[in-house]
A = this chain, B = another copy of it.
Amino acid sequence: MGIINNINKAFDHRVRLGIMSVLMVNEYADFKMLKELLDITDGNLASHAKALEQAGYIVVEKRFIGKKPNTRYKVTSPGRKAFKEHLSALEHLINRSE
């Protein structure tokens, strides 16, 4: 049982950590908000969000605000649970490094 086995590959990238960390404390976050908070390109955000969606950890909602299309994201309960486990695995690794 390796010391990194509990680290979830689906979250194993700083952009994904960032997306999940925002969605853990916001009911929704739209594309623009995530892009600004994370300071990354559209493509980078879209590809990592897609991966989290495919893993079932976030859901994507597309709607119109007035005439403008809006994409927003929300964490799923499996996503919340898996991310908490991922964070405690990271914390465990951090604590053994100090």
Contact = CB atoms under 8 A, between A and B. Distances in A.
Is chain A's interface secondary structure helix, strand, loop, or mixed overall? helix
Interface residues of A, number: 31
Interface string A21-63: 1101100000000000111100000000000000000000000
Output the residue of A1, A9, A14, A20 with the most chain B CB within 10 A. A14
22 contacts: A2-B18, A2-B37, A2-B38, A2-B40, A3-B18, A3-B39, A4-B14, A4-B15, A4-B38, A4-B39, A5-B39, A7-B17, A17-B90, A21-B93, A21-B94, A21-B96, A21-B97, A25-B96, A25-B97, A87-B98, A91-B91, A91-B94
Given A17-B93, A87-B97, 17 more contacts: A1-B39, A2-B40, A3-B21, A3-B22, A3-B38, A3-B39, A4-B14, A4-B39, A12-B12, A12-B13, A18-B93, A21-B97, A24-B98, A87-B94, A87-B98, A90-B90, A91-B91
